[in-house]
Chain A
């Protein structure tokens, strides 16, 4: 019997190729999107789960609010790990990781450039599942300067020779590293990636006993079954016990007194939450993670796509009811019961879904590379062959069959045979109501997504064009001129003389992209105020970056070193209570040699030195040029300067290549996540409207077929083609317009939540709604128009003759 169902289903598909193609294409697009997003989401959710004890590992993080400064740091103080292990019975073990920057490797007089180097406690490999495939597998890091190297870096440096026992030189380090083991490359879905893990035993900061400086990512393994919240509840007492006395020394304030007006504490973050739920400041983040919001958004989009395609299926099936009614009638008279008819219609739905799924898999295979590039993933086609995904795909197949097929199956099989045989189905059966509702639902999603896309585009546009307090174009950044040592000044002088160069500043502090970072405590009359950011610059910094000096003067060579002078931004002036007139005011800054008095000589207009997600924070510029250079070009084309710079660089330091960046590019990179989302959102907005319109096209086709006699009569009576088009379109256009009433408020609400992420954001203006409405209506009308115009321009006599 099942075979028969499929045979009949197949013949029916062949006979209704048109409707069927609409169904299949729509469903295939829906299913392909679903597969893609399913893989993307499960990849996002898989982060750090490769660790055998992933569910027991937590990271200790630091959150505080001190004098209005919000601090979110993923690193904590050096003694935290050992202290928590000693004091908390739930902690089985604790391990630390410190990120190390600017490490250049040298082996056999060959340079291997930057490497990702981290210092880890000797027990690191007991906590994280990072298999050592060669060398000392049990205690690789139990001696100072011992290091474990990744498989790929080992191959890069040592080729086929055995790396174990070899020594590597690291610039800026007096001691050489001694390779004790080779580990497998850290899996892609890990929240950190290092090529060299070096023992903390020889690392001075690891022995730091201060509870006032944070340097270490600290991970705890909790006993099985311990409640994170319970453990976390014990942390304030520990903090008070150990930090309290040190706070008294450093700030002259007791812990209790401090906590009265400020908040500060240690918290636990599950390992598996790190990738998707981290909001820590960039300087304490190992790698830019994902965002659970985007996981939700894309999951929702996948479900929407599928639902829209299923609705098409339902609508087209019920709309063609008049065609199928006769068959249902006959079959019932021939002794079929309802169940058998339902089975037959479900078989049809299943067959369609099966074909659509096959097509979707093909579509997926072809678009996967583009998707990977867009999403920054390395999803393989073969990952679809995992049992879990095969099972999910089968489940999806059944789900779609039931979801798309059940309603038409029950509806069609419920016909009274006599009525069905008499074809008592007029154009306006009660089903139009349900179908109308489903069309509205589809366009709620389409129009909602279109509005969302417009909002995202508008916000990105705003970011691009906002005046952020300095001139971002024509700036070239080289952040490692310190490598040149004594030749650094020569290079700067040389490059200043290039006729294409407008100005050069000597600083490694850049307001976009990678930058050096300095934060220091600010005191007034010996009393701690709050921490503020410092920029170490020279007198050319403000003119080179095109910043505006609102008050006072810039640094100048005339005044010598000026190490006790600063220029502050408006925000700092406001926070320090100097308001509009900060010139010649003083404060103290915390240095290694105690508090040092600083005098304000100028105030610079606020500029965004962080992304527009954040408000401008207080900033202090002090004269201390070192590190890198920033070049302002006279023209947009900087290739000449780059060429000149490269030549000069190669003459001075042939060991390492020049590493430069264009500030505008770095700035764009800051919003990579949003840019990707904009692209993906646009893509799916287009796809959903296409699928929704496929359905609309099908429905109009049926309406035109059902009413073709009416159309003929009207034409004979003198109706114009335009009037017929209006007649056929009216009902559908009304539905689309009705969908705006739900789509726009919903989209407005959700997009406002998204916009909250930006400290600087657009208003969702009325004309964005208008644009979304015009686009949606335009596409819908175009779809309906093609079909109804064809129906309207047919010869009326033909319509009537068939009677």
Chain B
């Protein structure tokens, strides 16, 4: 599905280069559930942002479904991202001014999906996540786990091929965390490719493959 070849990303700090990604290569197949592990600052978030095309890299190649992303213009990249990728944040990042329903609906608005279709899609996902009763609440009226559920629902609403989750359960307790992981597993079984960055061994274990990062490169055992 996607392939990173010898990618480098660095920032200059005090005249020295600090590598965020250092000759990193990774190949992810369709239908995988990949867990990315590593200590803080090892490059997990950077890797996810690069895969999401939200962040540039300085050197190397990136192919997404055989499209050479490193050669594309930003606008085209954004289009590919919007079409294929759902992003889930550790801090949920729901829009405070919008209700649960509106939060989930927002990506569809940006894709200019018709009103009737929007209603059907949002109703489906609310139903599936068992949050129909909460659709008119605002984010601050929900628990952390519920907020993350909305976050996932919002990421799934565009039917992405790939889900990127940056420490999705970092702010949750272990019970909520297990529920989210179970949900990821089900989604993966339905055919969605998932890449999650995590600190937790137990969460990582839900994945079909685990890679370990250290100082911006994949650590081989």
Residues of A within 8 A of B (CB): 1, 4, 8, 11-12, 15, 326-327, 329-331, 333-337, 340, 417-418, 421
Residue B106 at the chain A interface, CB threshold 8 Å: yes
The yes or no answer to B132 lying at the interface (CB within 8 A) is no
A-B contact pairs, 6 of them (CB 8 A): A12-B97, A330-B93, A331-B106, A333-B87, A335-B81, A418-B55
Given A8-B97, A326-B93, A330-B93: A335 and B110 within 8 A (CB)?
Answer: yes
Contact with A along B61-82 (1 / 0, CB 8 A): 0000000000000000010011
* In the complex, chain B residues 97-146 whose Cβ is within 8 Å of any chain A Cβ: 97-98, 106-107, 109-112
Out of B52, B54, B93, B98, name the residue touching A8 (CB < 8 Å).
B98
Given the interface contacts A4-B109, A326-B93, does A333 sit within 8 Å of B54 by beta carbon?
yes
B-chain residues with CB within 8 Å of residue A336 when the two chains form the complex: 106, 110
Measured CA separation A329–B158 after assembly (Å): 18
Is A327's CB under 8 angstroms from B95's CB? yes
A329, B49: Cα distance in complex, Å: 13
Q: How far is the CA of A208 from the CA of B78 in the complex (A)?
A: 89
Q: Is the CB of A418 within 8 A of B54?
A: yes
**Once the chains bind, are B109 and A421 in contact (CB under 8 Å)?**
no
Distance from A347 Cβ to chain B, minimum over Cβ atoms (Å):
13
- Residue on A nearest B93 in the bound complex, by CB: A330
Is B44's beta carbon under 8 Å from chain A?
A: no
Majority secondary structure of chain B interface residues (helix, strand, loop or mixed):
loop
Cross-interface CB contact of A337 among B55, B89, B110, cutoff 8 Å: B110
Q: How far is the CA of A8 from the CA of B105 in the complex (A)?
A: 13
- Chain A residue numbers with a CB within 8 Å of B49 are 418
* Contact A330/B107 with A418-B49, A418-B55, A421-B89 known, Cβ cut-off 8 Å: no
- With CB as the reference atom, state the residue of chain B lying closest to A326: B93
Given contacts A15-B96, A331-B95, A335-B81, 6 further A-B contacts (CB under 8 A): A4-B109, A8-B97, A327-B97, A331-B110, A417-B54, A418-B55
> For residue B46, which residue of chain A has the nearest CB?
A418
Contact A334-B107, Cβ < 8 Å, known A418-B54, A421-B89? yes
Chain B nearest Cβ from A334, distance in angstroms: 5
B106 proximity list for chain A (CB < 8 A): 331, 334, 336
Cβ contact within 8 Å between B110 and A340: yes
A334 (CB) vs chain B CBs: closest residue: B107
Whether A335 and B158, one on each chain, are in contact in the complex, defined by CB atoms closer than 8 angstroms, is: yes
B110 touches A334 (CB 8 A): yes
Using Cβ atoms and an 8 Å threshold, which residues of chain A touch B9?
none
B48, chain A: closest CB distance, angstroms: 10
Query: Is B93 in contact with A335, judged by CB distance below 8 angstroms?
Result: no
Q: Is the CB of A337 within 8 A of B97?
A: no
Instruction: Report Cα–Cα, A11/B138, bound state, in Å.
Output: 12
Q: Which residues of A contact B54 (CB under 8 A)?
A: 333, 417-418
Residues in chain A near residue B95, CB distance under 8 A: 327, 330-331
The residues of A that contact B94 with a CB separation of less than 8 Å are 330
Please measure, in the bound complex, the distance between the C-alpha atom of A3 and the C-alpha atom of B169, giving whole angstroms: 35
Q: Is the CB of A11 within 8 A of B109?
A: no
Chain A, Cβ-Cβ closest to B82? A335
A768 to B17, CA, bound (A): 59
Residues of B within 8 A of A12 (CB): 97
B136 to chain A, nearest CB (A): 13
Q: What is the CA–CA distance of A327 and B82 in the complex, to the nearest angstrom?
A: 17
Chain B contacts for A326, CB-based, 8 A: 93
**Chain B nearest CB, measured from A351 CB (Å):** 14
Q: How far is the CA of A162 from the CA of B31 in the complex (A)?
A: 102
A12, B95: Cα distance in complex, Å: 11
CB distance from B118 to the nearest CB of A (A): 11
* A329, A334, A421 — most chain B CB neighbours (10 Å): A334
Q: Which residues of A contact B81 (CB under 8 A)?
A: 335
- Specify which chain B residues have a CB less than 8 angstroms from the CB of A4 in the assembled complex: 109
Report the separation of the CA atoms of residues A331 and B105 in the bound assembly, to the nearest whole angstrom: 12
Contacts A1-B109, A12-B97; is A334 near B55 (CB within 8 Å)? no
State the 6 A-B residue pairs at the shortest beta-carbon distance, nearest first: A335-B82, A335-B110, A11-B97, A334-B107, A330-B93, A336-B110
Q: Do residues A15 and B78 form an inter-chain contact, with CB atoms below 8 A?
A: no
Q: For residues 148 through 205 of chain B, which have their beta carbon under 8 Å from a beta carbon of chain A? A: 154, 158
**Which residues of chain B come closer than 8 Å to A340, judged between CB atoms?**
110
Q: How far is the CA of A418 from the CA of B166 in the complex (A)?
A: 12
Q: Given A417-B54, A418-B49, A335 and B97 touching (CB < 8 A)? A: no
8 Å CB contact of B93 from A11, A337, A421: A421
Shortest distance from the beta carbon of B203 to any chain A beta carbon, whole Å: 22
Q: Are B98 and A334 in contact (CB under 8 A)?
A: no
Q: In the complex, which residues of chain B have a beta carbon less than 8 angstroms from the beta carbon of A8?
A: 97-98
Complex Cα gap A514–B205 (Å): 103
For the complex, give the distance between the alpha carbons of A421 and B95 in Å.
Answer: 12
Give the docked Cα–Cα distance between A326 and B81 (Å): 19
Cα of A473 to Cα of B97 in the assembled complex, Å: 69
A335 touches B98 (CB 8 A): no
Closest to A14 in B: B97
Asked if A337 contacts B78 (CB within 8 A), the reply is yes
Chain A: which residue is nearest B97 at the CB level? A11
Contact B55–A335 (Cβ < 8 Å): no
Knowing A8-B98, A11-B97 touch, does A335 contact B111 (C-beta < 8 A)? yes
Chain A residues with CB under 8 A of B154: 334
Distance, CA A417 to CA B52, complexed state (A): 11
For A11, A326, A331, A335, the residue with the greatest tally of chain B CB atoms inside 10 Å of its CB is: A335
Instruction: Please name the residue on chain A nearest to B87 by beta carbon.
Output: A333
Q: Which residues of B contact A335 (CB under 8 A)?
A: 81-82, 107, 110-111, 158
Shortest distance between the CB of B111 and any CB in chain A (Å): 6
Q: Across the interface, name the chain B residue whose C-beta is closest to A417.
A: B54
Contacts of A1 in B (CB 8 A): 109, 112
Q: Nearest Cβ in chain A — how far from B20, in angstroms? A: 12
Closest A residue to B164 by CB, please name it.
A333
Chain B neighbourhood of A330, CB < 8 A: 93-95
CA distance A334 to B112 in the complex (A): 13
- Interface core residue of B52, B87, B93 (most chain A CB under 10 Å): B93
Are B93 and A329 interface neighbours, CB within 8 A? yes
B4–chain A nearest beta-carbon distance, Å: 18
Q: Are B97 and A15 in contact (CB under 8 A)?
A: yes
Q: Kindly report which residue of chain B lies nearest to residue A329, judged by CB atoms.
A: B93
Instruction: Report the bound CA distance from A337 to B106 in whole Å.
Output: 12
Bound CA span A4–B110, Å: 11
Chain B residues, Cβ within 8 Å of A333: 52, 54, 87, 93
Nearest CB in chain B to that of A327: its residue: B95
Give CA–CA (A418, B164) in the complex, Å. 14
- How far does the alpha carbon of A334 sit from the alpha carbon of B109 in the complex, in Å? 10
Residues of A within 8 A of B111 (CB): 335
CA distance A764 to B107 in the complex (A): 63
Least Cβ–Cβ distance between A87 and chain B, in angstroms:
74
Give, as a whole number of angstroms, the nearest-CB distance from B115 to chain A. Answer: 10
Residues of chain A with a CB closer than 8 A to B52's CB: 333
Give chain A residues whose Cβ lies under 8 Å from the Cβ of B110: 331, 334-337, 340
Residue of B nearest to A11 (CB): B97
| B55, B78, B81, B110 interface centre (most CB from chain A within 10 Å) | B110
Of chain B, the residue at the smallest CB distance from A10 is B97
**B108 nearest CB neighbor, chain A only:** A335
What are the residues of chain B within 8 A of A15 when measuring CB–CB?
96-97
Chain A residues whose C-beta falls within 8 Å of the C-beta of B158 in the assembled complex: 335
Alpha-carbon separation in the docked complex, A327 to B52 (Å): 18
Looking at the assembled complex, report how far the CB atom of A414 sits from the nearest CB atom of chain B, in whole angstroms.
12
Cβ of A478 to closest chain B Cβ, rounded Å: 74
| A-side contacts of B109, CB under 8 Å | 1, 4
The docked-state distance in angstroms from the alpha carbon of A334 to that of B96 is 14
Smallest Cβ distance from A581 to chain B, in angstroms? 90
A-chain residues with CB within 8 Å of residue B93 when the two chains form the complex: 326, 329-330, 333, 421
A499 to chain B, nearest CB (A): 82
Complex contacts, B107 vs chain A, CB 8 Å = 334-335
Chain B residues with CB below 8 A from A11, complex form:
97-98
Shortest C-beta distance, B193 to chain A (Å), equals 18
Which residues of A sit under 8 angstroms from B96, Cβ to Cβ?
15, 327
In the assembly, what is the distance between CA of A335 and CA of B94, in Å? 14
Minimum CB–CB distance for A418 against chain B, Å: 5
